[in-house]
Amino acid sequence: MDTDGEAIADVAYGLFVVFLNKELCRQGKFLFELVETNIDFSSELVESFASFSADYPFLADALTDEYGSANAIYRLFTEGDGVIPTKTTKIFWILVDAPGYDPASANTEKEGKWLIFQEPNQTDDLWKKIRDATAAGELGISAKVSTAKENPESWDERMVIYVYTRDWEDEEDVMRIREVLRGLGVTDRIGYKRNIETFQGEYSEKGKKVTYYTA
């Protein structure tokens, strides 16, 4: 099991991933593109880590206590942690937002998501397609994927990708996104769940379904 220090470091790592992605996006860059094209972004990471340390000194200290330095964290990213689902062991989720989407100002109760369950050996390739389409503004408002970090709440060994839409009542948009997913290779029948059911803690059980659409 994680020690308290490791658990805090993992939380700090996840927050830094979000922080770094925002800083890179302001420069017109994506973390995943830099990693996958082997572009050196160490100077951008060190600069972002300095800003993160100024804003969140306790979390930055937890990271340096666990990993040693910003350069060590950089190496984790270049090895795929925080970018590739099956190579990510520090955080439970990797996420990407569509251009212009701001979670802080969104009406999250109106949102919902398509749920795509995949075997681990199929997840990385599909996530890359969905991630790229989301980042290009061709899919939903955001997407996220579970990772290789062991999650005690997982039901089985499969990974899951969530593809979010802005308004579950907008069936035309919901189904448009479903068609895009089909074009990306998601041909099996999948379910769509509204955020309001998630917020109420409602999950599928034997004899009970909480999906609002299936297609």
What is 93-214's CATH superfamily? RNA Cap, Translation Initiation Factor Eif4e (3.30.760.10)
Which whole number is the average pLDDT over 163-179?
97
Locate all alpha helices (DSSP H) within 94-199, ordered by sequence: 120-135, 171-183, 195-199
Residue 117 has pLDDT above 80, yes or no: yes
Locate all alpha helices (DSSP H) within 101-193, ordered by sequence: 120-135, 171-183
Instruction: Decide: residue 91, CB within 10 A, 0-12 exposed, 13-18 middle, 19+ buried.
Output: buried
- Averaged confidence pLDDT in the chain: 91
Q: Which residues contact 145 (CB under 8 A, 6 or more apart)?
A: 85, 93, 94, 95, 123, 127, 130, 131, 159, 160, 161, 162
Q: Residue 178 has which token pair?
A: 């479903």
The one-letter amino acid code at 125 reads: D
Task: State the pLDDT confidence band at 126, using cuts at 50, 70 and 90.
Answer: very high
Read off the pLDDT of residues 129-166 as tens digits, 9 standing for 90 and up.
Answer: 999 999 999 999 999 999 999 887 777 889 999 999 99
Read off the pLDDT of residues 67-99 as tens digits, 9 standing for 90 and up.
Answer: 989 999 999 999 999 999 999 999 999 999 999
Where are the domains positioned within the chain?
Answer: 4-83, 93-214
